[in-house]
A = this chain, B = another copy of it.
């Protein structure tokens, strides 16, 4: 009897959650030893199950959407919640892609021999049990579960209550694939209750079972997790990303990159929120870049110099430099060269992703060395802040932490390592 299969709200939350933890820990020790073939077989079967059960998935999703509309959820939230045939196919394709990634587990990261003949290897192993707490995006159930499976970790998933029926239907596909491949059903479990107390219990009272928590969602969710968690957290805070246009920037390149960095998609964490333009090229570069943004429908909030170039520019307030708009709005100011740009980013940035546009290699290097962000780019759009674009396959998010994993978190970042030492009878003098 798996507690996760019981979809009623439990009377005794602690008992249910501990059972979930015990099952996850048991599954993790099997998954740690699973072969690449077994894990990939499970993933391929999951993709097949998602495709085969698309009618059920759409029906479950319709129940969620109906309830969400009745609760008066906004259009953007309904859009995030909604599944359709294309989105189901995209999920399935994502799982197929994870199957194609190299297996990180068992790989030798480093190996050397000591003068006494000891052979020392650092070998990748799973983290163990990963708890993932996310908002009402049904696809995260699939993405996060599949990434954990590939990296040999057991997953305990807790999605937003608005997506509960969709998540359960997707989870059934995951379990179907896992079991068909001969792996434990508890490899990926869904917290069986929408009781909010379950999140607190997962964060603070399951240290015996849970090795890492990954919050995936907005600022308030991540903040809650970081405040309450008694196990390590891979945090994904906001992306207040900057583009700095240097005096030696090619104007055409700067125009193309700024527009792309802000407007390609405004709701992603790698979207630029602040434009910094070097005072030394403001006379030539500022107006065309700002007019491009305005003409494309972007609101620009600028300092005096930026306001001077176009009447449509609004005045920026101090708060604007601290704001992740996630919308077609950008803050903009003129700064006195690369060091002032670095200082602005240090003061207001979120250490996520920043780009410099310049033809000057020394200035670029100065920026790349001094900006202390997970991702620093030269002559490229901040919208490349994405595990897929980095060639890492899927990602569970972009870490803004410095500890364990920084930047895109893919299968390799969901691992630990151990030292395997081979001797021939060595004792220590």
Q: What is A's interface to B at a CB cutoff of 8 Å?
A: 29, 32-33, 112, 114, 118, 120, 125, 127-128, 211-212, 227, 230, 232, 250, 253, 256-257, 259-261, 264, 346, 364, 368-370, 372-381, 383-384, 389-391, 401-404, 406-407, 416-428
Contact = CB atoms under 8 A, between A and B. Distances in A.
A263 B380 CA distance: 59
A418 B384 contact: no
A381 B256 contact: no
Given A368-B420, A375-B418, A418-B407, A426 B391 contact: no
Contacts of A211: 402-403
Nearest to A426: B380
27 contacts: A114-B389, A118-B384, A118-B389, A125-B402, A128-B402, A212-B403, A232-B404, A253-B425, A256-B425, A259-B427, A260-B427, A261-B427, A375-B421, A376-B418, A377-B421, A377-B423, A378-B420, A379-B423, A379-B425, A379-B426, A380-B422, A380-B427, A381-B427, A384-B423, A389-B428, A390-B419, A406-B417
A423 B384 CA distance: 11
A15 B33 CA distance: 51
A423 B373 contact: no
Report how many copies the assembly holds. 2
Nearest to A257: B427
A82 to B, nearest CB: 24
B380 A425 contact: yes
A419 to B, nearest CB: 5
Nearest to A113: B391
Contacts of A253: 425
Nearest to A383: B428
Contacts of A378: 420-423
B250 A380 contact: no
B127 A419 contact: no
A390 B427 contact: no
The 9 closest A-B pairs by CB, nearest first: A380-B423, A260-B427, A402-B416, A404-B404, A383-B428, A232-B403, A253-B425, A377-B421, A380-B426
Nearest to A235: B232
Contacts of A33: 369-370
A51 to B, nearest CB: 26
A119 to B, nearest CB: 9
Contacts of A418: 372-376, 406-407
A395 to B, nearest CB: 12
Contacts of A120: 390-391
Contacts of A389: 114, 118, 428
Given A256-B427, A402-B127, A379 B422 contact: yes
Nearest to A252: B425
Contact of A403 (B373, B391, B404): B404
Contacts of A425: 250, 253, 256-257, 379-380
Contact of A384 (B212, B368, B377, B426): B426
Of residues A128, A259, A261, A380, which shows the largest number of chain B Cβ atoms within 10 Å of its Cβ?
A380
Contacts of A232: 232, 401, 403-404
B369 A427 contact: no
A118 B384 CA distance: 10
Nearest to A425: B253
Contacts of A212: 402-403
Contact of A419 (B118, B374, B383): B374
